[in-house]
Amino acid sequence: MKTAIIITLLCIGIAGASCSQGGKKNTAGNNPHSKSAAGGTGPAGYDLSNPVKYTMPADLLEISGIAFDNGDNSALYAEQDEDGSIFYFRPGDDKVNQVKFGKAGDYEDVAILNNHEVLLRSDGSLFSFPLSDVKAGEVKSVKEFKKLLPKGEYEGLHADGGKLYALCKQCPGTDHNKECNGYILNLAGDGNISQSGSFTIDVQKIAALIGKMKLKFHPSALAKSPVTKQWYVLSSVNKLLVVLDSQWNALQAYPLSGKTFLQPEGMAFDKQGNLYISNEGDKITNGNVLLFKYKKGER
């Protein structure tokens, strides 16, 4: 009889433990909209744990923004956040071309639109100059635009559909636990830039996708997929990649492995839908560009 009672109590204990485990709150590990990139998952068509890695030279140790000209992957344009130079090269080639466009500064991202190169400085200032000057090896004239963007710290810039899109990493008066502000700009054929509109990203929705009650979101790059037309927003501080629809509604969020993504600062797509993410280096590791090949129909 005693043996039967003991066995019964043990069974109850085991069942109770199982129920306790099953009743835990859903977290990023089992949220269907949020999967760790270390586990081989990512947005449809991408395996964020299996990149092709391009190591950058010393001049691009602090590589920040990257961009293609209309998705042409024969030349990737890049800048680093201390020197007023633009770099361009074919990913995988040893030769990296470098052209000076301005004085030293905290440059964070680059975009190409209407045959012009546009650089974003961290204070929100924008610089435009002809792409033909870059290819010729000498930037002859640069237009600078101050105070087009509200006061704040900026890191993300992208060109799409004839417009420029900028994301604020840290803006005074904005609660980054709740929202993230973005701005739309026009770029004329002569390189002049003007205001066009704004948009907002719901940070609370991103937090919910990764199973958190609160998230202070600080974006570092954005790009639009030519395949799905969805927006991708990258955060180096949060080690997070977020997928949004065309109206900036967050759909999916993917935590990024620190082993693969040392300091992800830049992002771009080529015409084929391949995804490129640049990482700043440190005293031990060189900067790099990671290529994630797009495979249609693959999860």
Tokens of 241: 């990649």
The correct CATH number of 29-292 out of 3.40.50.620, 2.120.10.30, 1.10.340.30, 3.30.420.40 is 2.120.10.30
pLDDT of 82: 86
Distance (Å, whole) CA 10 – CA 274: 54
pLDDT of 34: 54
User: What is the domain partition of the chain in residue ranges?
Assistant: 29-292
Bridge partners of 259, per DSSP, are: none
Distance (Å, whole) CA 215 – CA 128: 34
Q: What is the pLDDT of residues 203-224, one digit of tens each?
A: 999 999 999 999 999 999 999 9
Query: What would the DSSP string read from start to end of 21-45?
Result: HHTSPP-TTT-TTB--GGGT--STT
Q: What is the pLDDT of residues 58-111, one digit of tens each?
A: 999 999 999 999 999 999 999 998 889 999 999 999 899 999 999 999 999 999
Cα angle for residues 86, 218, 100 (degrees, 5° grid): 10
- Contact yes or no for 225/233 (Cβ under 8 A): no
pLDDT of 41: 78
Distance (Å, whole) CA 23 – CA 3: 30
Distance (Å, whole) CA 179 – CA 250: 11
Cβ contacts of 84 within 8 Å, gap of 6 or more = 100, 101, 102, 103, 104, 105, 107
- Contact yes or no for 88/79 (Cβ under 8 A): no
Q: Judge whether residue 8 has pLDDT over 70.
A: no
Tokens of 229: 């037309």
Higher pLDDT, 240 or 9: 240
Calculate the average pLDDT of the chain. 88
Q: Is 218 helix (H, G, I), strand (E, B) or coil?
A: coil
With CA atoms as reference, report the closest residue to 255 among 35, 43, 31, 40.
35
Distance (Å, whole) CA 264 – CA 115: 27
- Contact yes or no for 178/204 (Cβ under 8 A): yes
Q: Is 273 helix (H, G, I), strand (E, B) or coil?
A: coil
Share of the chain above pLDDT 70, in %: 86
